[in-house]
Structure 1
Amino acid sequence: MTNNDVYQITLISDISMQSKLLKDSLEKGLPIQVNIVSSDALRAFDSNGGKIDELVLIDFHYLDDEKFEYYNNAKTQSKSTIKEIVFNCPAEAPSSQLFKWRNLVGVFYIDDDVSLLLKGMDKIMNDEMWLSRKVAQDYIEHFRCANTVTTSQAYANLTKREKEIMRLLGHGASNVQIADELFVSENTVKTHLHNIFKKINAKNRLQALLWANNNIALEERV
């Protein structure tokens, strides 16, 4: 993202004073345009041809089961990968309550102030993630154990060595541990990781792990 870009973000919420204040705060603090989309608008997407942006901001408490179904239907119409950000999350909420978001890239809590929200959103807009270490670890473990994904062609196109590194990465191995396992230098591992990240459009190890959850069948990860 360049300094002249205006990032389009969908805020899933009722149109209210709170959502308008959030929209104003984000647009004043960052080069973005926030588009508020209510559950009624989501429900009508099939008929009006509407779309949601690649970056979606969702109130933790807003989407009940019915609204979540509307959102998923709208998401499936998108031709690109939707990145999901949850805000107003209770501090005591277990990680399992976040697992329904398959492309989670950020979580903000009820007690987070606007400055922290802006800082985290800026990171996310620059292809980083904003997850606590515990949430990230729980999230990865959950999807690593879920045998609901079939292997994509993108994974099939990786070299044999790159697949070996992805498997070890999925087991939580460090660069040094991967190097020891494969009898290569740490610099060689870094080079392979750089090539892998480029092929799968990942910016860091966590993004690569999340990509693996959605593109590699469980039996190929063990």
Structure 2
Amino acid sequence: MHNNDITRSITFVAHNTLQSTLLKESIENILALPINQLTYQQLINQYRFEDQIMTSLVLIDFSSLTEEDKATYFALRDQRFPCVDEVLINCPPESDYVSFLKWKNLVGVFYSDDSLDMLVQGMKQVLDGEFWFSRQLAQEYIRFYRNRQPVTTSDQFALLTKREQQIIKLLGEGASNNDIAQQLFVSENTVKTHLHNVFKKINVSNRLQALLWAKDNIGSEEFV
């Protein structure tokens, strides 16, 4: 969870082409946020060999990565920046949730036929702490995790306040901050504050990790 008063930055991983540079500059200008563009090899060199610390959101051109690149990235991420939010762009429109299961910090997915306006709108949502998934992808994620082996509610869930329990259950159902606010008759800022506290208590960094935590730690009896 990121507070709105903390300036975020973006690391854009893509081939060094005119198209990627123009896209980077467009997003940077519209969002008024610094974007550090790196090729895949530069990312590997900086964070494997130069001992740097990744603190920014990672925006990755999905179409530019080979399967070998992905495997190397996952190993590097898990070792060097395991909690940094990930956003994928230029994904094939036919991609389903299976394509994204290894992106464990995924908070946004954009497709090759999405417009720049759509990308900017989604990035604003992501930077505000929301997911940006298509309705179909979100439903596929939820169905996938619902069909996993049932779990017993953990003791950690019991340590949350009643309101925090309500919010993490709704988030586990795929609800947005606005959805949660409307259902609980509170403001979105109140929801964000509660989520910030919940994330600290359950030791997660973003909404996808929290959703996975909910599926593994909240038993079906809590949803009755």
Q: Is TM more than 0.5 here?
A: yes
| Greater Rg by CA | 1
Residue in structure 1 matched with residue 25 of structure 2 by the alignment: 24
- Letter aligned with residue 16 of structure 1: T
Relative to structure 1, the CA distance from residue 213 to residue 146 in structure 2 (aligned partners, 3 Å threshold; closer, same or farther) is farther
Question: Match for residue 160 of structure 2?
Answer: 158
| Alignment partner, residue 210 of structure 1 | 208
Please tell me the residue identity of whatever aligns with 1:122: K
Shift of 1:76: 2.7
The share of aligned pairs that are identical, in percent, is: 34
Structure with higher RCO (Cα < 8 A, 6+ apart): 2
Assess if the C-alpha contact under 8 Å between 1:12 and 1:57 holds in 2: yes
User: CA contact under 8 A between 2:142 and 2:174: conserved in structure 1?
Assistant: no
Deviation at 1:57, TM superposition (A): 0.9
- Please give the alpha-carbon distance, in whole angstroms, between the structure 2 residues aligned to 1:168 and 1:128: 13
- Give, as a single letter, the amino acid of the residue that structure 1 aligns with 2:25: D
Does the 8 A contact of 1:95 with 1:135 survive in 2? yes
Contact 1:46 1:74 in 2 (8 A): yes
Counterpart Cα distance in 2 of 1:46 and 1:214: 28
* CA shift digits 1:179-218 (9 cap, x unpaired): xxxxxxx669x9x97775242249xxxx997344443563
Helix, strand or coil at the partner of 2:107: strand
Aligned equivalent of 2:135, options 133, 136, 139:
133
Counterpart of 1:88 in 2: which secondary structure?
A: strand
Aligned-residue offset at 1:87: 0.9
The one-character-per-residue Cα deviations of 1:2-52 (angstroms, maximum 9, x if unpaired) are 5xx753101121222222111111112111111122222233222211343
> Is there any run of 5+ residues in structure 1 with no aligned partner, and where?
174-185
Instruction: Write the mapping of 1:89-104 to structure 2, written as runs, cut at 5 A.
Output: 89-104=91-106
The answer as to 2:37 corresponding to 1:36 is yes
Cα pair 2:85 2:206 within 8 Å, conserved: no
> What SS does the aligned partner of 2:34 have?
strand
**In structure 2, distance between residues paired with 1:164 and 1:28:** 38
Q: 1:146 to 1:196 in 2, by over 3 A?
A: farther
TM-score (norm 1): 0.69
Give the total of aligned pairs: 201
Gaps in structure 2 of 5+ consecutive residues:
176-183
Residues 1-222 of structure 1 correspond to what in structure 2 (within 5 A)?
A: 1=4, 7-44=8-45, 45-78=47-80, 81-146=83-148, 155=157, 157-159=159-161, 163=165, 166=168, 170=172, 196-201=194-199, 210-216=208-214, 218=216, 220-222=218-220
Shift of the 61–195 alpha-carbon distance from structure 1 to 2, 3 Å rule, reads closer
